Amino acid sequence: MTEQSTSPLHKPLTHNWVSVFGFMLAMAFLVGEALIITLDFVYGQNNPYVGILIYVVGPAILILGLLMVPLGMWLQFRRRQKGMVEKEFPVFDLNTPRHRLYLTTFVIISTVFICLSMIGSYQAYHVTESTEFCGLMCHQVMKPEYTAYQYSPHARVDCVQCHIGPGASWYVKSKLSGLRQVWAVATNSYELPIQTPIENLRPARDTCEQCHWPEKFYEAVEKSLTYYANDDENTPYHVKLLLHVGGSSTILGHYTGIHWHIARDHKLEYYPADYARQIIPWVRVTHEDGRVEEFISTEATDFDKSQIDPAAIRELDCIDCHNRPSHRYESPFASVNQAMELGLIDPKLPGIKGVAVEALQGEYQTTPEALQAIEDKIRGQFEETAANDPEIKAKVDQAVKQTQAIFERSIFPEMKVDWTKYPSNIGHFDFPGCYRCHDGKHATPEGKVIRDDCNLCHSIIQQGEGWEEINQLEYKLQDFVHPRGMGDAWEGQNCHECHGPGMM
């Protein structure tokens, strides 16, 4: 007996450093994992890094450790083979108590491990689907989208519900394109800002319609806007409109209003002449009875219908209007107006509108630089008045804080993202939006025009200028009166031609 145990041949093959180390590593991680997973189940956690550690890195090391055991055994086997002549496999004998103990231990550990890794991969699936994973793992790159998202009506909708949607094939597709993106981030080879439209975005009807029902009929949606002038009084101009969203009317049996476009009884297609889909020279409506109408823009003089690439024709869906449902980067003009209307910035602070907008529009390389500049600019403006008036000083402090907050949620110099980079297709004030088709210049050969009258999409029911007057405005259907004494000088041009990026 003593003879046998001293012979190297009778030591188990696992008797080598690689296997022993691998086994210890695996055991250490197994115990650690079991502990953290239990804690995770009991307390829950939202930190994506912890999730990645537990469910992706941990199991990987565990598997590595376990693989080291047979690897070491194999190396040991080879070593013995070289040194000795006989090519024997180790003897495994269930009659030996020690061998039975090995087997039982192995079976127990493997079972526990397999169970845990099943839970693990299920959790890994969830982690890679979580909003925190999408938004924070590539923190720098996705910061604009993640930030804007948190302030959007969809703040509780997971990224994947719009970007991937249900079904395994899109999950796989998204993970493949995700790998490409990880590569792009790792090698710093992505474009700034991120290009839109996202070409391979899943058709909106598969995603949005998981929650929104196009057949739903919407009553008029009210939009109430107050614009403050760039003067000492911040003179307000107020407009209230009712948007005719509509939808399917079960009583009438057909679609009306703005959501007419997505009715299932006809098909609306268009051909964009540019990558951003901002120029639309050609529109086709195929009606239920097979009738086809083709509208061509009279402005697109060099447009030749025969050169349309059929693959580039797009069927209009939710995203063609709601392209910023979740990542809306407001213009300084709009966000300061809104902050003032909500009272976050006091509209009684003389000239604050102009100063705040100007501060937000500065050319900045980094966010900290911008925040400092905003503070300096606003404080500078009120230096004298605030010095002897604590009340004004408090309002200035508040205005600084709010203007900085606007910057942080809508402008991202590091990623070269701001409102001018991502046109919003809803409306027509600062981007062409609906006017890409509804400019009154898209006509069929018979002369039918896509309508552009101001009451087609909404009704203006209140408007007026001045602090006192606004409180006395009546509700009545009325024509738009352009503020600030413009008279009819605006007519004949679209709003965005004067109000769009770089104009005001």
375, 408, 499, 501: which one contacts ligand HEC (CB under 6 A)?
499
Is residue 490 involved in binding ligand HEC (CB under 6 A)?
Answer: yes
- Regarding 281 and contact with ligand HEC (CB under 6 A), the answer is no
Which residues in the 167-226 window bind ligand HEC by CB under 6 A?
194, 196-198, 201, 204-205, 207-212, 214, 218, 221, 223, 225
CB of 161 to ligand HEC, least distance (A): 4
Residue from 154, 377, 379, 441 binding ligand HEC (CB under 6 A): 154
Is 275 a binding residue for ligand HEC by CB under 6 A? The answer is no
Shortest Cβ 342–ligand HEC spacing (Å): 15
229 binds ligand HEC (CB under 6 A): yes
Q: Which of 13, 262, 349, 411 binds ligand HEC (CB under 6 A)?
A: 262
Q: Which is nearer to ligand HEC, 285 or 392 (CB)?
A: 285
Residues 6+ apart with CB under 8 A from 105: none
161 binds ligand HEC (CB under 6 A): yes
Tokens in use for 494? 């679209």
- Between 31 and 292, name the residue whose CB sits nearer to ligand HEC: 292
What is the token pair recorded at 438? 């509804």
The one among 113, 149, 407, 412 contacting ligand HEC by CB under 6 A: 149
Q: Is residue 358 near ligand HEC by the rule CB under 6 A?
A: no
CA distance 131 to 116: 24
Residue 317: other Cβ atoms inside 10 A: 19
CA 458, CA 365: separation in Å to the nearest integer? 40
Reduced DSSP (H G I as helix, E B as strand, rest coil) percent helix, strand, coil of the chain, to 5: 50, 10, 40
Q: How far apart are CA 337 and CA 340, in angstroms?
A: 5
283 binds ligand HEC (CB under 6 A): yes
What DSSP line would sit under 26-62, residue for residue?
HHHHHHHHHHHHHHHHHH----HHHHHIIIIIHHHHH
Site for ligand HEC in 289-328 (CB under 6 A): 295, 316-323, 325-327
Q: Is 41 left (phi over 0), alpha (psi -120 to 50) or beta?
A: alpha
The values of phi and psi at residue 179, to 5°, are -65, -40
Q: How far is the CB of 275 from ligand HEC (least distance, A)?
A: 11
**By the rule CB under 6 A, 439 interacts with ligand HEC:** no
Decide: is 159 part of the binding site for ligand HEC (CB under 6 A).
yes
By beta-carbon proximity to ligand HEC, the closer residue of 161 and 462 is 161
In sequence order, which residues have a C-beta less than 8 Å from that of residue 331 and are 6 or more positions away? 419, 420, 430, 501
Q: 389 to 428, contacts with ligand HEC by CB under 6 A?
A: 422, 426-428
